[in-house]
Each structure stands twice: as structure tokens, then as C-alpha cells.
Chain A
Amino acid sequence: MADDRSPVPDADVCIVGAGPAGAIVAARLGEAGHDVVVLDAGPRFDLDDRTEQLDAHLRPGVEETTRGDGEAVDGPWGMGGERDAYTSSGSKGYPLNAARVKGVGGSTLHWQGMVMRLHERDFELQSRHGVGTDWPIDYADLRPYYAEAEAELGVAGAADNPFAPPREEPHPLPAFPPSHSDSIFAEACESLELPMHSVPNARNSEPYDGASACVGYGTCKPVCPSGAKYTAERHVARAEAAGARVIDRAPVQRLAHDGERIEAAVYATPDGTEHRQDARAVVLACGGVENVRLLLLSASDAHPDGLANASGAVGRYFMDHCFAGVGGRIDRPTRQNHVGFNTSECHALYDAVDPLPGVKLEFLNYAGPSPVSEALHADDWGDSLLDSLRESYGTHLAVGALVEQFPRAENRITLDRSTTDDHGNPVPDVRWSVGPETRAAIERVNEVQRAILRELDAEIDWAVGPDETGPAFHHMGTTRMGTDPDESVVDPDCRAHDCDNLWIAGSSVFPTGGAMNPTLTIAALSCRLADRLEDWL
């Protein structure tokens, strides 16, 4: 059946995108008895190939072609080439294909897996501080769905964060204990009044949901061979077990509609044919860039600026989280690169501090070089290689941070009609810049990061500040949620204002993005969307 990419008759719901946003909706609606079909542009990756992908990641020269169509691609997940062509025209370049994965599982295939709730202020930025915009829902609305999302993702966490929003239920799994280097940072952070707390991880600290506990490969990003890190493949499997049909390598070309309702998702298959998947409802869940592109590609006389774009907001307000960091070395072992995830962070700089953009501090467990990788790239060997590895490994420390961007209309996704993809469609253009308020917040957090390292008498050897910052690969804001159809694309239920049977899942509906990794909120909104859509069906 894997090669059968024909449409499903009488589908209730067609979901475009098999990442976490779409897969959770698919699993929930499938289990509720609805006929669900999921279309994904990328391939299905075999779980048995994960160690080979690890090999390809660590070992220079190992072929990384996992896509099967003969195109030159990058990384273990086969991004790149004509299929994934894009342009980047903003004042800050945007490496889009490093920032996403197309395929069953979506970007959870390569993500790191940090899953924290947004803070209450994130939903009320305009009301509280006069910047950005408010969400049309608040933390209380989303709170029960956050708990459901934590169960869906198998979050390992603890209730030790004094800055976190209120919660009743414990996380489904115990938090990973702090690292040795966390204990080094704790001394400095205590004197600077920066309380450290655990990181909620979508990574099994114990076996969960049929998957292994973490075994410490240390390569979470970009590939977890043990299956301990959550990927949306778990929800795809659940959806398929409930009868859903998941069709891979089936990029949707446009949404055919009569002006008011979508009639079909028109998709291509590797044999060069086009198919129409009819459904009573369509859920767009292909990320903050491709959701936009598909709406713009579906323009018609009734929707001349793109489907569901009467507001003109489709593609606008593109936000990411900006990275800021400082690293250095101290005169004692820091025990880095045993695992590929973080165990401690600090939200002390998040709420109502000056500058206003939220900041999440991260204490890295993977600062400095990994000896294996360094050895494989060295131009030396024998005793002198060992000497240089001993010199370069063992005493590094680094404090990172995610910094909030406020929504800015000029940061946007559009179509670049001068460039086409492998199906002749215009490619996405990413226009991204870092605003002055975010630059100020990055400068401020750099000062804090330097202060932490100075407390430890570290020799600081690198910093990522406002000029060097880059994106954390969280695509938010481009189909924003709101109550006013003139200002927003979807309503508070995530249904399009301008199209009766179109729903949008994922972080493209976030009106603001805070500075928390978005996937737990994506999952919570998908749980909520599935409830609302089920009522609608």
C-alpha cells in the first residue's frame, strides 16, 4: 500500500503536513472514528535507518541521500535541491532548509525537543505592555490542552520552575537530573539571583509510549537513533492504526475551492500525476512558511490575494526566536557532549523586565567540540592528535538564550515568482530582520551571560550578540489568530475567517511567540483544534 498514492474516497478531513501539528490532529480525529487522510510533501523515513543517519551526520564523506529522488540534498533528512528551493531577501539571511524537515514526522525529526508552556504574559502582550498584539485566547483557555499535549509528547519535566505559569498535573515523566556543568553554573547563578530549574524535554527519561528511554547517543539534533526523543511519527502511527491514510511524497500544489469552501487538495505524486483529495474539511499543517505558500498559490478570482487572505495578513508577522550566547573555558572539567540536550534553564529574564522581549536562558550540555567529530576532521593523527583533543576538550562552558521577536508586518513570507520549484510553483521568499527591541534584549542578555561566566572566572572566547544572532528555526505568526477578520487569518478555533472548511494548525497561528520553544504550544493547539473540528464535523 505504501506506493498507492491515490485519493481516499469520502474523507472527512484532509490534513496537509505530517509533522506534530497535523499528526496529532490526525491521530485524535482518526481515533474518534473519522476518515482522515494526511498528505506530506516529503518521504517516510525508515526507523531502521536512524543509525545510518547518525553515521552520515558524524562522519564526513558518508552519503546523506535519504530522499530517493536523486537530487543533491543536505543533512540526514534530505533537505535541499529544487524541491525545497527558496529565496531570502530580508536584511538578515534566513537558512530555511536548515530550519525544517519535509517528511513524515516533519521538523520533529531533527528538533532538539524542548517543550515548555508559554507564560501568561505571552497571551496578553498588548494589554499588559502595549506592544505586539493579544491572543484571542488566554493561558487559562489553553491550560488543559497543555496538560494533554504534555501527555501526547511524553514530556519529562518537574514543577521546579518558579517563573512558570500555574499547573496542577505533574509531567508524565520525571525530569532529567541536572548535569555536572549545571552544578557549576548553579554557584554563579545563585550569587546573581538567577534561579536555575529543569528543562521540560520531549524525550523519555523512562520508557514511554512504547519507546525506549534515552540512552545517550548525544546526537539529538539532528537524529535520535534510540527513538527516545519524540517525533511526530508516533502520532502518525497512531493515526494509521486508527485507519487514517498517510500519503508521503505527495506535495499539495493548491487548494481547489469555490470561493467559500475548499473542494479538494490537489497533490502531485512521484509518477508525475496529479490527484484531487476531496474532504469535508482541510487542515493546513505544513509549517509557518509552506502554509503561507499554499494559501498564496491557491489564489482565485474570489481570493485574488491568496486564499483566506482578505486581511492581507497571510505571510506577514513572520517571527522566530533569536539566539544569543556567550561561551568560554574554566580551569576544571565541565563534562560536555555526553548528551545532546539541556537539563537546566532560567526564565528569570522573561516577564516584565527591561528590555521587554522575553528571554529564556539555557545552560548548554554540549559546549565546545566533540572529540569524535574533531578527530574525523583533523589533519593530524597519532599522539599529536590525542594531545590536541585533550587540549580542546573538557573545560568549555556556554550559556545560550532564546530572545523574543515582536510581530512586525514587514517580516513576511511571499512568493518569489522569479524562481520555481520542481513542480513549477513559485518558491517562498523569506524576508526577516531583527528589530531594535530584540537587539536591545540580546545585548542585555549578553551582559548577563558574561556576568555568569565572569563569576566562574571563565576565559570568554566567543559571543553571539545582536550582529551575529541567527534564528532558532521556529516559524511563527504568518497566519495569525484573532477575532477581527480584517486583522487576522484564523479565528480563535483556528478556522479561517474567509473559508468555511479550512483550519490551520501549527505555530503560524501564533499572534506572538514569546521566547519559549513553540512545539508544546503547537501540540496544545492541535489538541484543541481536533476538539473544535470534531464538533464542527
Chain B
Amino acid sequence: MNLSRRDALAALAAAGAVGTAGATVLGDEGGADADSSLPDGTLATLVAVAETVYPAEAGGIEPFVETYVTGRIVNDPAHREGVVTAAADLDATARDWVGAPIADLDRSARDRLLRDLSVDVADPDPDGNLAARVRFYLVNELLYAFYASPTGGRLVGIENPTGYPGGTESYRRARMEDEDG
């Protein structure tokens, strides 16, 4: 299952950021401007986290994450700051605890790092401790992008997940449109 930029835009629609932000992302194939761009290290950390929290069958993660997160932060400097800081703090913890940036760790080592930090059981909180901020700005941000989009929803069996404006046809169907039968 390959994620696409279109999937990211669908997820942005679910997050209510498809207006100005979506137009900016859509109309700027070559990259975003300074206010909407992500530092390289932040993107690498987000992708590393996404590769851990998304199902293994998800491909195309990097462009999906870049498009989605860029759309989320373009008009929200406070959110951008939260994402960038949480990513930097997580990466610094990886370097401190295991001697390498999180992006260089394999999937199981990233998973262990996040669990050792208690991110799996942390209550998401933008103003909380590191685990709470990583859960809020990175893990839940990425899980929301995935499972509130039709592509992620389809893996579970729902092409119009809660929060996604997927119309009033799907609820009447006996099965997802592209399923056999």
C-alpha cells in the first residue's frame, strides 16, 4: 500500500487544513517557503517515527509525511515550533541514549526507544514532558494523518473515516467500492 501526496491532501482536508495550506502545498511542487518548510532533521525524524507507527505495508511515507506536516504548519507557527522542538528533543534523546540519530536506527530500535520513553502510554499534551509532546506532535499527528485519510482507513475497512468529509454514499454500501464481490 503506497501513500501519496494526494493521500496527504485528503488527510489535510480531515484536519481542516486543506484551504490555504492545501493550496500552498498543491501549488508549490518545488518546495515550500521558509515559513512552511521543515528543517531537514525534523523531516527525517518524522519519517523515522512514521515508519515505526505506521503498518509495515505502508510505502511512500516520506512524501506523504512532508506534504501533510507542511500543510499543518503553514499557517500555524506555534504548531510548527511544537513539531520542530519535539522532533529535535526526541532525536537528541536517541543520540544520548543509543549514540545515533533516530533516523539511523532500525525499526525495532526506534520502537524500543519510543517505548522506553513511555510514548506508548503517555497522554498527549502539547505542553507536557518529552513523552507527552512526542505523543502529541509526532505520534498522534502521524496516526491522525494516516487513519483519518481514506487510504489509511481502507486498511481497517472504512474508506470514509470519522473526521474525513468523504460524502454520503459510502455509508449505504455493503462493502468498500474497490472490494471484490
Contacts and interface: CB of A to CB of B under 8 A. Distances in A.
Nearest to B149: A372
A386 interface: yes
Nearest to A337: B162
A217 B163 contact: yes
B62 interface: no
B172 A333 contact: no
A383 B111 CA distance: 12
Q: Lowest 6 CB-CB distances: which A-B pairs, in order?
A: A51-B16, A61-B124, A338-B171, A381-B53, A215-B165, A370-B162
Interface stretch (B27-35, B37-45, B138-146): B138-146
B165 A338 contact: no
Interface in B128-181: 132, 135-136, 139-140, 143-144, 146-148, 153, 155-158, 160-168, 170-175
A340 to B, nearest CB: 8
A382 B121 contact: no
Tell me if B's interface is mostly helix, strand, loop or mixed. loop
A375 B121 contact: no
Given A373-B162, A383-B55, A386-B55, A51 B171 contact: no
Contacts of B168: 176, 205, 213-216, 339
B150 to A, nearest CB: 11
B167 to A, nearest CB: 5
A65 to B, nearest CB: 13
Interface of B: 15-17, 52-56, 111, 120-121, 123-126, 132, 135-136, 139-140, 143-144, 146-148, 153, 155-158, 160-168, 170-175
Contact of B171 (A52, A339, A372, A382): A339
Given A61-B135, A180-B172, 15 more contacts: A54-B163, A55-B16, A61-B126, A216-B160, A216-B168, A335-B171, A335-B173, A372-B153, A372-B161, A376-B147, A380-B120, A381-B53, A382-B54, A382-B111, A386-B55
A219 B163 CA distance: 7
A381 B120 contact: yes
Contacts of A225: 16, 165
Interface stretch (A32-40, A81-89, A264-272, A388-396): A388-396
A136 interface: no
- Find the residue from A178, A337, A343, A381 having the highest chain B CB count within 10 A: A381
B124 to A, nearest CB: 3
Nearest to A180: B174
Interface of A: 50-52, 54-55, 58-63, 176-180, 183, 205, 213-219, 225-226, 333, 335, 337-340, 343, 365, 370-373, 375-376, 379-383, 385-386, 389-390, 393-394
Nearest to B19: A51
18 contacts: A50-B16, A58-B163, A61-B126, A205-B168, A215-B168, A217-B164, A218-B163, A219-B163, A226-B165, A340-B162, A365-B171, A372-B147, A372-B153, A376-B124, A379-B120, A380-B120, A381-B111, A381-B143
B20 to A, nearest CB: 11
Nearest to B118: A379
A337 B172 CA distance: 11
B156 A371 contact: yes
Contacts of B124: 59-61, 376
Nearest to B140: A376
B144 A376 contact: yes
Nearest to B143: A375
Nearest to A214: B168
Contacts of A215: 165-168
Contacts of B160: 216, 218, 338-339
A219 B162 contact: yes
Contact of B147 (A371, A379, A394): A371
B172 A178 contact: yes
B170 A216 contact: yes
Given A180-B174, A335-B173, A371 B158 contact: yes
Contacts of A380: 120
Contact of B53 (A372, A385, A390): A385
B156 A216 contact: no
